[in-house]
Structures are given as structure tokens and as C-alpha cells.
Amino acid sequence: MISAHGRSLPETVYGLLKENDLTLATAESCTGGLVGHLLTEVPGISAHYLGGFITYSTTQKCAT
């Protein structure tokens, strides 16, 4: 648990997004999409989580 109220980190992030009427998008690499996965496990997050991009290979991360 991450909070004094027994909430996990994704639940805490959701609470902050909801309280402040904010949205969030993610860009992930080495996590392989873990952050997006953890966020989408929280009921109600779809009102605040726009989605994310997973770019794992070095060639995709570099402009040519």
C-alpha cells in the first residue's frame, strides 16, 4: 500500500486525477506497458486515463 488510507499507487493516482479533474496518458518503454496495465485495473479510471504508447525497441525511440 502507498497511502495512509491503504490505497495502492494506481488507486492513489486515480484519486488525484479525479479530485483535480485531470487526465493522464502514458509513454512507456522498459516497463512494457506495466504502468498502463496497473492503471486500467482501477475501476473508474477510464474517465481519466486516455491511454498510452509502448515503444520498446531502440529503433522506434530514435528519429531517423
Q: Is residue 62 over pLDDT 90?
A: no
Contact 35, 52 (CB under 8 A): yes
Tens-digit pLDDT profile for residues 18-53: 999 999 999 999 999 999 999 999 999 999 999 999
Question: Helix, strand or coil for residue 64?
Answer: coil
Grid cell in block for residue 22: 485531470
Query: Burial letters for 19-50: b for 16+ Cβ neighbours within 10 Å, e otherwise?
Result: eeeeebebebeeeeeebbebbeebeebeebbe
The closest alpha carbon to 39, from 61, 18, 10, belongs to 10
Say what the pTM is.
0.83
